[in-house]
Amino acid sequence: MELEIQQERKHFLWNKHFGRDAKRKKELRTKYNNQYQEKRSKMTEEEIKNLNALANVRLKKRRKTIRNAKGVRGRKLRLKCKMDKKRYNATYYRKKQLETPRGKFTRMVKLLDSIDFTEIMRILTPREGFNSSVDAEVFICKSNFMEYIEIYRSSKFAFIRTAFDDSTEDLNLVHVKISGEDIVIPASNESAMSYSFAGIILYENGIIYHNNPCWDDNIRFKYIGRKRRLQTKDPVEYALKTCINMQKDSSNPEESKDETEEGYDQNMMIFEEALVEVASSERAEFS
């Protein structure tokens, strides 16, 4: 019975996000929005003011109807209004949060703490072996992991070895293609927790955002993490040392690689690219 309920829920979510009705609604929404923007661009300021005033009148009338509705209908209307407002606020906040590098970074840290990567690896590893290329619909019920995919592919994130843990588990990364997009994920919950504590960087707008409390702040390195800091050191010097130490564990390009080695190499490529660009920018500023 529970399996049937899970399958029905998966089918419902798939149709909601990727089905024919969802695509049709999205097309209509885009069409009507374009028509509205075109019409509004031809209006004068006075006409726009009158249009907004009319919209406010209709909105107040709708609120009054919901407020004064009686019985079961009134309870349903008020509950629907409450849920719509809650959903809108959550979506609005998340979109605003992801507009800034700090927002993306903090959200990624929370996702690393909340996602069950052991379960994700179980889905990616059926009986016939590791599946290195899957469709996003496989994870449609994993909303947090879907958000992880969205944030990761829209930015340059990399995972690095911390100064607190030299174990091999700290480097446990996996490369997988999800709907054609290259994604690197931690291979276990322990790895994800270590990265969320002090082992993740985001390179954006010429700045490396990080959560390593041992690195000092400068114009190219910005710390985002707990307020309590350790004795800080020069970030460029120690970032380069970290990169060199991690390069020693890279696989030989001539040898065949498994998914863990590919994930590690993909991650190193992003980290090295960020360091090269930051170092070249600093040399240009000092010259």
pLDDT per 10-residue tile (average), the chain, 287 residues = 60 60 78 87 89 89 88 88 82 83 90 88 74 72 83 88 54 80 85 84 89 84 78 78 73 57 80 82 61
Tell me what pLDDT residue 14 has.
58
Residues 211 and 136 reside in one and the same domain: yes
The sign one gets for the Cα dihedral 242, 111, 19, 27 is negative
d(CA 274, CA 242): 13
Which of 95, 127, 148 is where one domain is finished? 95
* Pick from 270, 212, 214, 216: nearest CA to 246: 270
- Which positions ≥6 away from 113 have C-beta within 8 Å? 192, 193, 196
Give the bridge partners for 176, in sequence order: 183
Residues 77 and 105 reside in one and the same domain: no
Residues 89 and 111 reside in one and the same domain: no
d(CA 285, CA 53): 53
Tell me what pLDDT residue 169 has.
47
Residues 194 and 271 reside in one and the same domain: yes
Which of 95, 111, 146 is where one domain is finished? 95
Which of 40, 63, 95 is where one domain is finished? 95
Number of domains in the chain: 2
Tell me what pLDDT residue 118 has.
86
Residues 115 and 198 reside in one and the same domain: yes
Q: Are strands 133-134 and 156-159 parallel, antiparallel or unpaired?
A: unpaired
pTM of the model: 0.67
Could you count the other beta carbons within 10 Å of the beta carbon of residue 108? 22
Tell me what pLDDT residue 17 has.
56
Residues 88 and 168 reside in one and the same domain: no
Residues 43 and 151 reside in one and the same domain: no
Residues 176 and 105 reside in one and the same domain: yes
Residue with tokens 């003011």: 49
Helix, strand or coil, per DSSP, at residue 129: coil
Report residue 222 as tokens. 């910005």
Residues 194 and 150 reside in one and the same domain: yes
Per the structure, the complete domain to which residue 24 belongs is given by 2-95
Residues 171 and 51 reside in one and the same domain: no
Tell me what pLDDT residue 155 has.
87
Residues 89 and 116 reside in one and the same domain: no
Residues 141 and 70 reside in one and the same domain: no
